[in-house]
Structure formats: C-alpha cells, structure tokens
Structure 1
Amino acid sequence: MEHATPSVALYTKVLGGLLLLTLLTFLQPTLLPLAVGGTVGTQLLIAVLKVALVAAYYMHLRSETAYLKGYVVMALTILAVFFIIVGIDVAHS
C-alpha cells in the first residue's frame, strides 16, 4: 500500500494546533473557573484532542488500514476497562 507523503505545511498546522491546545490547557483554569470536577473533565477533553492529533498525524494512523485502526481501538478499549476496574476498586476501598 502506498502512503501519501505529508507536507511540512501539514505538520506545521498540527504543531500549531498542539501548541494552542497546550496553551488552552494552562489558561483554562483562569479563563473558565469551574469546580474541580469540571476542570478535570475539561483538561481530560483537551488531552484527548491532543492525543488524537498526535496519533492521527505523527503516528500516521490517519492513512492506515481499517484493520490496524481496529487494533488500536481494541487496545484502547482494554486499557479503558483496566482503568475502570481500578477506579471501582479504589472507590470502594
């Protein structure tokens, strides 16, 4: 399978997006003061967006087959299950 070579301009745009999201991560508590749970949720949402950008463009998952993308989703699902199990265990102890 032949992959399209991404341009420097594309990588520059992705880097700019990551830098803006990082700036938003630092400024969010002062610009939008929320309760602790709201701040944590907002910070996690920003982190997920940054992870998605890195995975899609720098790890080249955007141009991979559905088969490999399925493996990534399966691994993330298993990781989420482990986090949920540990969270339930910690909450009940």
Structure 2
Amino acid sequence: MEHSVSLYTKVLAGLLLLTLLTFMQPSLYHLMPGPTAGVQLLIAAMKIGLVGAYYMHLRSEKAYLKGYVVMALMILLIFFVIVGIDVAHS
C-alpha cells in the first residue's frame, strides 16, 4: 500500500508535538516525580504507537506479525517488572 507524503508529514508533526509536550509537561503541570514519570511514559507509548503503526508499517501487516510484536513487548515488560522488583528489594 502506497502512503502519501502528507500522511507521513502529519505523523511527523504528531511526533514533534508529542516530543514538545514531553519537554514542556514537567513545567506546565507541577506533579510529584511518580505521576510525572507516568505521564512521560504515557506520552512515550503514544510515540511508540505512531512509529510502529506508520513508519514500521505495522498498520497494514497481517495479524500474526502484529501478534509477534505484542509478544515481544510483553516479554520486555516482564523483564522490566522482574528487574523493578529486584531493585525494590535490594
């Protein structure tokens, strides 16, 4: 499927706006470090979704390939949780 330049330009503009929001969020909303990290991770997840869907062309792939990507992300999340638990108990 051929994507137009305007679509990629819109996605790039979205990524740049989300990056700007990433830098401005701590000064706009004075939250404690925990909630700030949560908001930053949410913004990062949105950017990951845009890059994966459009630049990596996952939006137009078959379901089994999308499943592989989700499985890899779940394994990565499990490793992060294990390391977080280990760091919290040391």
Task: Give the structure-2-normalised TM-score.
Answer: 0.98
Cα drift, residue 83 of structure 1: 0.6
1:54 alignment partner in structure 2: 51
> Which amino acid in the other structure matches residue 37 of structure 2?
V
Q: Structure 1: which 5+ runs fail to align?
A: none
Q: Does 1:27 align with 2:30?
A: no
Cα drift, residue 74 of structure 1: 0.5
2:75 alignment partner in structure 1: 78
Cα drift, residue 57 of structure 1: 0.2
Question: Which of residues 8, 12, 21 is equivalent to 2:9?
Answer: 12
Task: Give the structure-1-normalised TM-score.
Answer: 0.95
Cα drift, residue 17 of structure 1: 0.2
**How much is the aligned-residue C-alpha RMSD, in angstroms?**
0.5
The runs of 4+ residues in structure 1 deviating greater than 3 Å are none
CA–CA distance in structure 1, aligned partners of residues 35 and 83 of structure 2: 22
Q: Percent identity among equivalent residues?
A: 73
Q: Number of matched residues?
A: 90
